[in-house]
A and B are shown apart, each in its own frame.
Chain A
Amino acid sequence: MHPIIKLVSQRFALGILLLFGASALIFGLTEALPGDAAQAVLGQSATPESLANLREEMGLDRPALTRYFEWLGGILQGDLGQSLTNKLDIAESIGKRLGNTLFLACAAAIVSVPLAIFLGLLAVRFRNRWPDKLISAITLTTVSIPEFLIGYVVVYFISVKLGWFSSLAMINDSMSFGQKLYAITLPAFVLTLVVLAQMMRMTRAAILNLMQSAYIETAELKGLTTFQVIARHAFPNAISPIVNVVMLNLAYLVVGVVVVEVVFVYPGMGQYLVDSVTKRDVPVVLACGVVFAAVYIGLNMVADIVSILANPRLRHPK
């Protein structure tokens, strides 16, 4: 077997194992939280009878392990089950939410990843001169401000004062692709500002690091322009660290944007997970947790594989 295929399948198997571990951990932690779904649903209006009745209806009167293995059995057959609180099919609800989350993440990624890399290259090209300093200053500022504050500032000026874009990023099936893009402009903009700095700084650092190497000096001596040196000789060798940080940021765009979702009232996965944790809706928490874990594991796997492919020494091991 080709070593790369072997490596990928090993990673894949490990990833699946990791997912099971994650689901058990999430289940254990949600069980450890005070209260349960019945109590959370009834809230202040709970009476001992209504609590008991609701627990029985939700099946919460059975032991925790039984419930976990039932859930596991279901998921192995591709059945995510029903929400405890509103009886809706989880797969259907998650499908919609995950679609929205991926849509927003993709929009932000399509803008931010090329922009970050381009700005990083630009910063290297003009290192320690004003374009470098300006780029660093702006991106470091936006990454340092909490995202809800950027969100509010953007909403106040662009939406309330100027009225250019909607402050509610509500999207639904009846909207055309263009309308959807228009609706998510502001959250995508805010997310871009949030993730830009880390990717740009990494690109800059990785390439600057290589610029000290002897082969770069050789390339310069044979008369290549600075940009050619960066693009042909430095960048390919810097791919590995850049891909790693890009994947981390993509994962963040999928799993970590609940604050932006709240500010822009965007119907994504984050809000769904937070609501479900609050209401102790264990099957939904598990399903969301597994999806998030899968995204993280998957993207990290992609980063590893790309690093290997980009590195001839790893590609052709002796």
Chain B
Amino acid sequence: MNEQLTHMTKQVTAGKLTRREFMGKAAALGVSAAMASTMFADAARAADPKKGGDLKIGSIGGESTNSLDPATYASQVPALNGRQFGDTLVVVSPDGSIESRLAESVEASADAKVWNFKIRQGVEFHNGKTLTSEDVLKTMQRHSDENSKSGALGIMKEIESMKADGDVFSVTLNNPNADLPYLMADYHLIIQPDGGMDNPSAGIGTGPYKLEVDEPGVRHAYSKFENYWADDGHFDSVEIIAINDSTARTAALQSGQVHLINRVEPKVAGLLGRAPGLSVQPTTGRGHYVFIMHVDTAPFDNLDLRLALKYAINREELVEKILQGYGSVGNDIPINAAYPLFDDTIPQRTFDLEKAAEHYKKSGHDGSPIVLRTSEVAFPGAVDAAQLFQQSAAAAGIPLVIEREPGDGYWSEVWNVQPFCASYWTGRPVQDQMYSTAYLSTADWNDTRWKRPEFDDMLNKAKGELDTAKRKELYSQMGRMLNEEGGIICPMFNQFIDGVSDQLAGWEPDPYDELMGGQASRKMWFA
């Protein structure tokens, strides 16, 4: 077999070449169709997951203070931990649909108010106990009762009652919500034996890997769980190493000490991608970087001033300089094409200094400095981004003043407190959840103080609307309204950038989160 043919079969195995492309190229090399067909089948078979091997993941966001209790997950390493030892009822698949996990099937009543989750039978917890609908009920109770400190508490508020009956766990909602399964896919909602009521941080679940070592902020080691219910989870062991320093992370990947890393810095991604033995994988997600204004606080209660600021930001420049091209421009709404039911006909706001100056003049602002608070923790490059914003705003005659805040305490003292600051959102799997989290009048994290009854009405109507065309129309109207009047300036959506060793196969981009939505250790294998 000549060299080119070998290379092609390798590409098939890595999933980079389709059958059609392979056959075409093989024919060009003078290989008979029958022969090419056999070769393709062999190569494709090699793409079947191989079992075994010890996977090492180097991840940002591991602190000595981390707990294995899923209710407390707020950074990357804990969230990854949950994906190793535990399962949620459902997960969001890379194409945005709902994939069953511990719930075998999901059924909704016609009004989308009552949801029944049929719980998979014969699933074993790592402590030997068998999964029942009672465990599911208790888990959900722990995350939603009034004593809860769960990160998922916000999304559990819509639930009116829950019950477990035989192998069915059912949820009754206060108001219809066609997206409930997406809420149940939240990474905090890992099903624990007895709901984790007795020992929430035991790290016992139904996942493919069993906890062996728990050293918060250092490493978490897992071994294959023999009685795991599904057929993914191909490795013998998985180790998650907390590497918070980005240079240390890339060095660990380059020197082969880890196979996967997250958060490759955009400024080194291009260079790293050229290093041998690894690839850099950018994934378009739903995360976005924002400058947020409180629409109820002067001077931001003036629509013209908000529009002036929106026109005065150079989005292309920010994508190029802050994200190094690893991302796309935003349109002052928290939604992009990675969301289902996105309306791509909403006009894109462009950088327009004339319009900015015009609106600024119309706003009648007295010319006093407008304070924009920023910090390195708001998002990577937030200080630089604020400076670029300041420069372009100055060109339109808008006097922005940057106040650089300490990273420590930013989320408690500045974000959601001060009227104008930099921030980021990791995005949510569906539009309803994103809007309900931050743009509903009553939302705790309404960080732009966007309180419009008509917007809330549309959101609630869309929630219960099972006709997707009508829903899309509602979301489109909401998007247009926010784009025109909202307090969010969204210049860019960032990509997740992961580093993947060539020893691994099975990479598939997943807009849900970095490292294949946290499921790389389940779906990948050693080539």
**Residues of A that sit less than 8 Å from B by CB:** 33-35, 38-51, 53-54, 57, 83, 85-88, 93, 96-97, 152, 155-156, 159-160, 163, 166-168, 170, 172, 262-265, 267, 271-272, 275-276, 278-279, 281, 284
Chain A neighbourhood of B146, CB < 8 A? 49, 53
Contact bitstring B378-414, A, C-beta under 8 A = 1, else 0? 0000000000000000000000000000001101110
| In the complex, B65 has a CB within 8 A of chain A | yes
> Is A45 within 8 A of B154, CB to CB?
yes
Contact of B245 among A42, A163, A262 (CB under 8 A): A262
Chain B neighbourhood of A34, CB < 8 A? 408-409, 412-413
B102 to chain A, nearest CB (A): 23
State in angstroms the CA–CA spacing of A37 and B201 once bound together.
18
Chain A neighbourhood of B148, CB < 8 A? 49-50, 53
A138 to chain B, nearest CB (A): 25
B525 to chain A, nearest CB (A): 23
Counting chain A CB atoms within 10 Å of each CB, the highest count among B65, B217, B257, B412 belongs to: B65
Main secondary structure of the interface of B (DSSP, over half): loop
State in angstroms the CA–CA spacing of A130 and B244 once bound together.
43
| In the complex, B241 has a CB within 8 A of chain A | yes
> Is A166 within 8 A of B257, CB to CB?
yes
> Is B255 within 8 A of A163, CB to CB?
yes
| In the complex, B218 has a CB within 8 A of chain A | yes
B192 to chain A, nearest CB (A): 15
Contact of A50 among B65, B150, B247 (CB under 8 A): B150
Contact of A167 among B64, B150, B244, B251 (CB under 8 A): B251
State in angstroms the CA–CA spacing of A51 and B147 once bound together.
10
Number of A-B contacts (CB under 8 A): 140
Chain B neighbourhood of A83, CB < 8 A? 65
State in angstroms the CA–CA spacing of A45 and B149 once bound together.
10
> Is B252 within 8 A of A167, CB to CB?
yes
Query: What are 25 contact pairs spanning A and B, CB under 8 A?
Result: A40-B412, A41-B65, A46-B412, A49-B146, A51-B149, A85-B66, A85-B72, A86-B68, A86-B72, A86-B216, A152-B251, A159-B251, A166-B255, A168-B58, A168-B241, A168-B252, A170-B218, A265-B243, A265-B252, A267-B219, A271-B64, A275-B217, A278-B63, A278-B408, A281-B65
Q: In the complex, which residues 125-181 of chain B have their Cβ closer than 8 Å to any Cβ of chain A? A: 146-151, 153-154
A40 to chain B: closest residue by CB: B412
> Is B65 within 8 A of A279, CB to CB?
yes
State in angstroms the CA–CA spacing of A312 and B218 once bound together.
49
> Is B411 within 8 A of A168, CB to CB?
no
Chain A neighbourhood of B68, CB < 8 A? 86
Could you list 10 further interchain pairs (A-B, Cβ under 8 angstroms) beyond the known A53-B146, A86-B68?
A39-B411, A41-B74, A50-B150, A53-B147, A155-B248, A168-B243, A263-B245, A278-B63, A281-B65, A284-B64
> Is A35 within 8 A of B413, CB to CB?
yes
Q: In the complex, which residues 25-63 of chain B have their Cβ closer than 8 Å to any Cβ of chain A? A: 58, 63
| In the complex, B215 has a CB within 8 A of chain A | yes
Chain B neighbourhood of A170, CB < 8 A? 218-219, 241
State in angstroms the CA–CA spacing of A46 and B64 once bound together.
20
> Is A156 within 8 A of B153, CB to CB?
no
Which 7 residue pairs spanning A and B have beta carbons closest together?
A85-B65, A86-B67, A34-B409, A54-B149, A35-B412, A275-B64, A45-B151
> Is B412 within 8 A of A93, CB to CB?
no
B254 to chain A: closest residue by CB: A160
Chain B neighbourhood of A45, CB < 8 A? 74, 151, 154
Known contacts: A43-B74, A43-B411, A168-B243. The answer to whether A272 contacts B217 by CB under 8 A is yes
Chain A neighbourhood of B371, CB < 8 A? none
Contact of A87 among B64, B67, B243, B255 (CB under 8 A): B67
> Is A262 within 8 A of B66, CB to CB?
no
Chain A neighbourhood of B74, CB < 8 A? 41-45
Main secondary structure of the interface of A (DSSP, over half): helix
**Residues of B that sit less than 8 Å from A by CB:** 58, 63-68, 72, 74-75, 146-151, 153-154, 201, 213, 215-219, 241-245, 247-248, 251-252, 254-258, 408-409, 411-413, 415, 444-445
> Is A57 within 8 A of B65, CB to CB?
no
> Is A167 within 8 A of B248, CB to CB?
yes
Contact of A88 among B58, B216, B243, B415 (CB under 8 A): B216
Chain A neighbourhood of B248, CB < 8 A? 155, 167-168, 262-265
> Is B218 within 8 A of A275, CB to CB?
no
Chain B neighbourhood of A41, CB < 8 A? 65, 72, 74
Chain A neighbourhood of B217, CB < 8 A? 267, 271-272, 275
Chain A neighbourhood of B218, CB < 8 A? 170, 267
> Is A42 within 8 A of B151, CB to CB?
yes
B437 to chain A: closest residue by CB: A45
Chain A neighbourhood of B415, CB < 8 A? 44
A174 to chain B, nearest CB (A): 9
> Is A275 within 8 A of B251, CB to CB?
no
B74 to chain A: closest residue by CB: A43
State in angstroms the CA–CA spacing of A152 and B249 once bound together.
11
B152 to chain A: closest residue by CB: A45
> Is B247 within 8 A of A263, CB to CB?
yes
State in angstroms the CA–CA spacing of A284 and B242 once bound together.
19
Chain B neighbourhood of A279, CB < 8 A? 63, 65
Known contacts: A43-B411, A278-B408. The answer to whether A50 contacts B257 by CB under 8 A is no
Known contacts: A49-B153, A278-B408. The answer to whether A86 contacts B413 by CB under 8 A is no
Chain A neighbourhood of B252, CB < 8 A? 167-168, 265
A57 to chain B: closest residue by CB: B149
State in angstroms the CA–CA spacing of A86 and B241 once bound together.
18
A174 to chain B: closest residue by CB: B213
> Is A168 within 8 A of B257, CB to CB?
yes
B257 to chain A: closest residue by CB: A168
State in angstroms the CA–CA spacing of A212 and B250 once bound together.
54
State in angstroms the CA–CA spacing of A69 and B219 once bound together.
34
B412 to chain A, nearest CB (A): 4
B61 to chain A, nearest CB (A): 11
Chain B neighbourhood of A276, CB < 8 A? 64-65
B488 to chain A, nearest CB (A): 15
A48 to chain B: closest residue by CB: B444
Contact of B213 among A38, A97, A163, A172 (CB under 8 A): A172
Contact of A33 among B149, B247, B409 (CB under 8 A): B409
State in angstroms the CA–CA spacing of A130 and B342 once bound together.
73
State in angstroms the CA–CA spacing of A126 and B228 once bound together.
70
A314 to chain B, nearest CB (A): 43
> Is A160 within 8 A of B409, CB to CB?
no
Counting chain A CB atoms within 10 Å of each CB, the highest count among B68, B74, B415 belongs to: B74
Known contacts: A160-B255, A167-B248. The answer to whether A47 contacts B444 by CB under 8 A is yes
Chain A neighbourhood of B65, CB < 8 A? 41, 83, 85-86, 275-276, 278-279, 281, 284
Contact of A86 among B66, B151, B255 (CB under 8 A): B66
B250 to chain A: closest residue by CB: A160
A152 to chain B: closest residue by CB: B247
A164 to chain B, nearest CB (A): 10
Chain A neighbourhood of B215, CB < 8 A? 96, 172, 267
B289 to chain A, nearest CB (A): 14
Chain A neighbourhood of B409, CB < 8 A? 33-35
B147 to chain A: closest residue by CB: A53
Chain B neighbourhood of A35, CB < 8 A? 409, 412-413
B216 to chain A, nearest CB (A): 6
A38 to chain B: closest residue by CB: B149
B188 to chain A: closest residue by CB: A45
A175 to chain B, nearest CB (A): 13
Chain B neighbourhood of A39, CB < 8 A? 411-412
Chain A neighbourhood of B58, CB < 8 A? 168
Counting chain B CB atoms within 10 Å of each CB, the highest count among A45, A163, A271, A279 belongs to: A45
